[in-house]
Amino acid sequence: MASQANDAKAEGNKFFGAGEYERALSQYETALQIAAELESAEDIRSACHSNRAVCFLKLGKYDETIKECTKALELNPSYLKALLRRGEAHEKLEHYDEAIADMKKIIELDPSNEQAKRSLFRLEPLAAEKREKMKEEMIGKLKDLGNSVLGRFGMSVDNFKAVKDPNTGSYSISFQQ
C-alpha cells in the first residue's frame, strides 16, 4: 500500500513538473486516500498536502493553499516548505500578520533560512502600513458616526479636541466653537 501511495505521489510530481496542476492535484489526492489506510504514513500524507498546496498556490487559489499547508503542518509541525507556502499564500491575501507568524516560525526552526528572513524584512512594513490604513478607516467611520449624532445639535466632531497628557498617556477632550 505504501508503494502505491508513493507511486501516485510520484505521478503527481510528474504532472506538477509539466505544469499540469489540476492533474497533479488529482494524483496527490489519490495518494492521500491510499495513505489514509496506512498507520505510519504521516510523511507521505504531509508531503502530499504540501504538494497540493503548491499546486493551489500556482493556480492562485490561496485559501486552498492555506488549508492544505495547515493539514501538512498538523501532521508535521516543523515542515518548513509548508510554513513557507502558507506564508506566501497569506501574503498574497494580504494577511501580513499571519505571514509574519509563519516566517518567524521558520526562523525559529531554522535560524539560517535566508528566504524567511528576506520575507520577514519585506512583510513587516507592509503589515504596519495595513494596520495604519485600517486605523485611519476606523477613525473615519467613528468621525462619521459622531458627526451624524452631533449634527442634530448643530455640532461636529471638529468642535472637540483631544489632548494627550504626556505624564499619564490619558486624553482630555475640550470643546471649541
pLDDT tens per residue across span 74-129? 999 999 999 999 999 999 999 999 999 999 999 999 999 999 999 999 999 899 89
**Number of structural domains in the chain:** 1
CA-wise closest residue to 47 among 23, 81, 14:
81
Strands of the chain (E only): list them.
160-164, 171-175
Q: Average pLDDT over the chain, rounded to whole?
A: 91
Per-residue pLDDT tens over the stretch 46-82: 999 999 999 999 999 999 999 999 999 999 999 999 9
CA-wise closest residue to 50 among 69, 31, 36:
69
- pLDDT band at residue 137, thresholds of 50, 70 and 90? confident
151: in domain: no
150: in domain: no
Q: How many CB atoms lie within 10 A of CB 104?
A: 15
Q: The domain that contains 27 carries what CATH number?
A: 1.25.40.10
110: in domain: yes
162: in domain: no
60: in domain: yes
167: in domain: no
Write the DSSP assignment of 95-128 as a string of letters: -HHHHHHHHHHHHHH-TT-HHHHHHHHHHHHHHH
pTM to 2 decimals? 0.76
104: in domain: yes
The kind and range of the H/E element at 16 are helix 2-17
175: in domain: no
- Determine the structural domain holding residue 58 and report its residue range: 2-125
